[in-house]
Amino acid sequence: MLTPRSGRPVQKIPRDGYLYLDVARRLRRRVEKGSYPPGSKLPSLADLCAEFDVSAITVRNALRELMQERLVVGHQGLGVFVKARAKIHRVLAGNSQRSIGEEIARAGYAARIEELSYLAIKADAELAEQLRVRSGARLFRHEKLTFADDEPVALHTVTMVPSLARKLRDDLGRYFLFPLLVEHGIATASMRCEFRAIGLGEREARLMELPPGYPMLQVRYTPIKADGAPALSGITIARSDRFSFEVDLPQKTIG
């Protein structure tokens, strides 16, 4: 393999088709994999020409392609930088009607849902205690992914008693949870939340398109109805680099 003066190996680009699209594809892949993290500066024009063994015009066209995709931004006299990603600011409150989809949109991304599974399960000891049912009772578990601009950013699991599952089943794969509860007249007075840092397991890593062990934020939550009964049990695994969480506490709990 040839090595330019910079000391880095030359990455040979196929000579068929448009060269700049090949360069753009490889640079895009590096950004997506985090080799060039948000806010970082790309190598200079000369270094990219040497690395890919192409002309300056080809590199400029490749960078223009990525700028049109809003993946990178150029600053005159400074260079080209990976565009910083806005954080998705998630607010958790006892009677919140704000969905994660609305907060993704507020951060400037397009939100969508992909349903993964809907299964009947038996309550283990932990779920039995959370939902106030007997151990072994029949429950329903729904799992879905949330995307921001077609990038998976959160994995949601919701476990419900059969009566609630029947009410929500047709809408769970199309709508976000908290507005859906309100629409079906299921008011919540408070919410118990538990936060912890975790590393992605192999299955979750495949779904999130991230390497196993990638650091994530796990939120376990239980909305509580006015009569004190739990509405459901939920777990959200969210990308720690894409989300910030805010918990809205009533005044009497602070101090």
Domain boundaries, the chain: 19-82, 88-253
Q: What span, in angstroms and rounded, lies between the C-alpha atoms of 5 and 51?
A: 10
pLDDT band at 11 (very low <50, low <70, confident <90, very high): low
Q: Quick check: 181 pLDDT over 70?
A: yes
Cβ-contact 180, 168 below 8 angstroms: yes
Question: How does the average pLDDT of the chain come out, rounded?
Answer: 86
In angstroms, the Cα distances linking 104 to 89, 101, 150, 164 are: 8, 5, 12, 26
State the sign of the Cα–Cα–Cα–Cα dihedral 62, 63, 67, 71. Answer: positive
Q: What span, in angstroms and rounded, lies between the C-alpha atoms of 165 and 83?
A: 41
pLDDT at site 1: 41
Q: What's the average model confidence in pLDDT over 81-95? A: 73
pLDDT band at 121 (very low <50, low <70, confident <90, very high): very high
Q: How many residues does the chain have?
A: 255
Q: What's the average model confidence in pLDDT over 14-26? A: 76
Q: Quick check: 10 pLDDT over 80?
A: no
Q: Which residues contact 155 (CB under 8 A, 6 or more apart)?
A: 143, 144, 145, 146, 204, 207, 208, 236, 237, 238
By mean pLDDT, which of 30-39, 49-58, 113-122, 216-225 is the weakest?
30-39
pLDDT at site 99: 81
pLDDT at site 88: 82
pLDDT at site 245: 79
Q: Which long-range contacts (CB under 8 A, 24 or more apart) does 26-30 make?
A: 26/52, 27/62, 27/63, 27/66, 28/66, 28/69, 28/71
pLDDT band at 250 (very low <50, low <70, confident <90, very high): low
Q: Domain 19-82 is in which class?
A: mainly alpha
Structural tokens at position 248: 């809205």
Please measure the distance between the N-terminal and C-terminal CA atoms of the chain and give it in whole angstroms.
65
Q: What is the DSSP letter of 251?
A: G
pLDDT at site 31: 86
Helix (H, G, I), strand (E, B) or coil at 229: coil
**Residue percentage of the chain with pLDDT more than 70:** 87
Structural tokens at position 138: 């029949």
pLDDT at site 93: 62
Q: Quick check: 2 pLDDT over 60?
A: no
Phi, psi of 133 (to 5 degrees): -125, 170
Cβ-contact 127, 222 below 8 angstroms: no
Structural tokens at position 122: 């038996």
Q: Which fold has domain 88-253?
A: Chorismate lyase (3.40.1410)
Q: Quick check: 205 pLDDT over 80?
A: yes
By mean pLDDT, which of 8-12, 78-82, 193-197 is the weakest?
8-12
pLDDT at site 140: 98
Q: What span, in angstroms and rounded, lies between the C-alpha atoms of 233 and 93?
A: 15
